[in-house]
Amino acid sequence: MRATDIKRLSLYLLFAPFALWILLLILLPHAGMMYISLREKVAPRVYEFGFENYINFFNEPIYWNTLIRTGSMSLLVTFLALLLGFPIAYYIAKIAGNRSRGALFLMCLIPLWVSDLIRAFGWILLLRETGVISSSLQWVGLIGTPIEFLYNDAAVIMGLVYTVILFMIVPLVSTLDGMDKSLIEAGYNLGGNGPTVLRRIIIPYAMPGIVAGCIVVFMLTAGSYLTPILLGGKNSSWFTEQIYDQFITRYNWESGAAFGFLLLAFTSIAVWLGLKLSGQTLNSTVADT
């Protein structure tokens, strides 16, 4: 009896930090935000309950256009990260020798050791009109006048891919790592060529890793703030910027909170759709890798 009590107590104690974390840092703030998002401001210090903030979002094309833009650019970033990350992950997991693997992994990790802000400034130094790339191209003689590479959507996408690609590579490496090399050999022995083996053996095997990586990357991208703000041009709005503006510039916490929930709903639906389409579940992907 006593022993089970102690066991139970220690279980509670071990569980407590996690429960507190979820309750205090996730559930409570969200409940508060939900409450704020359902308030309508009628006059200074006077509020009414209602869905006005959500309705406003759908009535104003600027808002949902920005959300769609953010969503589609995030999808593009996810796709590019997968396209670039897969060969790297494959090389690390299957081709590289044991020693170079560690080194390669480390090289992928190193950019994460500096903050987002510093990395964005690094890109700015490279891409700006008087920056490294433009002036070296001029020096080589390929271009006559300085070219501005910064302040456009391509710069934003490149910066984002660079920031998130690691989160694609890690789950891919850990999935591909578990694949027996003899599977690939068997594929070739049965007369398959490179593309067939890739399509029928490697990709299906790596699917959980691919989906897990895509989910993480998509969420990170859609919720990122610094990179799109700093590298983006005069036309590039990002949805997180709208949320910031609502909260800070417009003193409109009510609609900022509603936007926050809309972003959460949008990304959740996108992830759910992705899981449905790929025939995976959260358990088989993110929880596994």
Partner 1 sequence: MIIKIAMAGLLAATVMTTTAAQAETLRLLTWGSYAPDGLVKKFEAKYPDINVEVTFSNNEEMVAKLRATGGAGFDLAQPSHDRIFAAQQEYNIYKPLDLSKIDTSNMSKVHLDGVKGNTTIDGKVYAVPHQWGTSGLMADKAKAPDLKGWGDLCDPEYKGKTSMRLKRTILLGTAFDMGEDPFAAYADLAKYQQILDKVASKLISCKDNIKAYWKGGDDLSAMMLSGEIVASETWDSTAYKLYGQNKDIVFVPPKTGALAWIDTFAFPRKGKADDAAYKWINFVLEPENVQLMSASTGAIAAVNGGKDLLPADKKAAVNAAFTDADIDNLKFFANIPPGVEDMEGKTLEKIKAATGSE
Report the nearest approach of partner 1 to the CB of residue 158 (Å).
Answer: 17
Integer Cα distance of 144 and 46 in angstroms:
61
- Both tokens of 273, joined, read 């759709």
Span interacting with partner 1, options 107-115, 148-156, 186-194, 202-210, rule CB under 8 A: 148-156
String marking each residue 109-138 x if it binds partner 1 according to CB under 8 A: ---------------x---xxx--------
Report the nearest approach of partner 1 to the CB of residue 208 (Å).
Answer: 39
- Comparing CA positions, the residue from 121, 122, 138, 142 lying closest to residue 130 is 138
String marking each residue 244-263 x if it binds partner 1 according to CB under 8 A: -xxxxxxxxx----------
Nearer to partner 1, 100 or 130 (CB): 130
Write down the residue that tokens 């409109």 correspond to: 252
AA letter at 177: D
Are the beta carbons of 34 and 261 closer than 8 angstroms? Answer: yes
- Both tokens of 15, joined, read 């569980």
- Both tokens of 155, joined, read 């710069």
Are the beta carbons of 285 and 86 closer than 8 angstroms? Answer: no
Q: How far apart are the first and last CA of the chain?
A: 39
234 binds partner 1 (CB under 8 A): yes
207 binds partner 1 (CB under 8 A): no
Q: What is the CA radius of gyration of the chain?
A: 24
Nearer to partner 1, 76 or 229 (CB): 229
Write down the residue that tokens 């694949």 correspond to: 179
| Choice from 8, 11, 233, 287 touching partner 1 (CB under 8 A) | 233
| Choice from 70, 78, 224, 237 touching partner 1 (CB under 8 A) | 237
Question: What residues line the site for partner 1 (CB under 8 A)?
Answer: 44-45, 62, 65-66, 124, 128-130, 148, 150-151, 229-230, 233-235, 237, 242, 245-253
